[in-house]
């Protein structure tokens, strides 16, 4: 009973710190410990938090770990599912907030919207975002589980979606799992082919973002590739 009382008091103090100042003064192990309170009600989560951080190397790597790897590190299936579930909820929250709050984005802010939609992906994907003439988003979604390529079916699909929504401009984003964030020659040639095809039906390709291992590259923002989008 005394041990439970000590843990209970510690948990309450940590919760009160969070309610008073948020995560401002929290270390990573304290953030993880606070998360674990809600799935491990009666054990010392301080030790578990330190163990997980030591095993995986960082808070983000703990939350990105697979359920199987988390179980191998010694946590229960319920805890593993909770830790995998948490970043997916945050990703959906950010996507929903961006979608429902302000759908007219300056081009500079579109990248934040796209990152929130693709940040938890474990596969290569191609995202298409479409805007109307005044810059309002009319469509945003994953259209295939592979990067942009010069396949005519991919280009026809993009044009078909764009025409369905009467879009005037398009942004694409490629999520790469391996490799580098800098555009390859294939990325460049595929982007040029799509730009030409869209121009043929009166639409503009205004950006191609490439995401890889937490980095994002803006082709239109690069002096080397900017002329593709002019």
In this prediction, residue 99 has a pLDDT band, given cuts at 50, 70 and 90, of: low
Q: Which two tokens stand for residue 104?
A: 């007219």
Residue-averaged pLDDT of the chain: 85
pLDDT tens for 126-153 read: 999 999 888 888 898 889 888 787 778 8
Residue with token string 């940590």: 14
pLDDT score of 206: 93
pLDDT tens for 74-85 read: 999 999 999 998
215-218 β-sheet, strand order: 137-144, 125-131, 169-176, 204-212, 215-218
Q: Given a cut of 90, is residue 51 above it in pLDDT? A: yes
For residues 118 and 35, give the distance between their C-alpha atoms in angstroms, rounded to a whole number. Answer: 23
Q: What is the pTM of this model?
A: 0.57
For residues 197 and 202, give the distance between their C-alpha atoms in angstroms, rounded to a whole number. Answer: 9
pLDDT score of 1: 41
Around 121, how many Cα atoms within 13 Å sit in the side-chain half-sphere? 26
> Percent of the chain, pLDDT > 90?
50
Eight-class DSSP state of 227:
G
**CATH T-level topology, domain 103-229:** Cytidine Deaminase; domain 2 (3.40.140)
């Amino acid at each position: 009973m005394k041990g439970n009382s000590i843990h209970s008091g510690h948990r309450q103090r940590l919760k009160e710190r969070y309610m008073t100042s948020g995560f401002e003064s929290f270390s990573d192990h304290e953030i993880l410990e606070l998360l674990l309170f809600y799935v491990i009600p009666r054990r010392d989560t301080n030790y578990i938090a330190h163990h997980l951080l030591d095993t995986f190397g960082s808070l983000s790597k703990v939350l990105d770990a697979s359920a199987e790897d988390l179980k191998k590190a010694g946590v229960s299936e319920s805890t593993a599912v909770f830790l995998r579930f948490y970043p997916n909820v945050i990703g959906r929250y950010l996507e929903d907030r961006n979608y429902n709050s302000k759908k007219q984005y300056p081009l500079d802010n579109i990248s934040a919207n796209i990152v929130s939609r693709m940040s938890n992906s474990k596969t290569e994907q191609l995202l298409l975002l479409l805007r109307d003439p005044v810059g309002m988003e009319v469509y945003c979604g994953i259209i295939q589980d592979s990067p942009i390529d010069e396949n005519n079916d991919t280009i026809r699909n993009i044009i078909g979606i764009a025409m369905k929504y009467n879009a005037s401009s398009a942004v694409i984003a490629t999520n790469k799992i391996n490799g580098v964030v800098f555009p390859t020659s294939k990325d460049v040639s595929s982007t040029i082919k799509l730009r030409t095809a869209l121009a043929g039906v009166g639409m503009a390709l205004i950006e191609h973002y490439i995401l890889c291992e937490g980095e994002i590259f803006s082709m239109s923002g690069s002096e080397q590739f900017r002329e593709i989008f002019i």
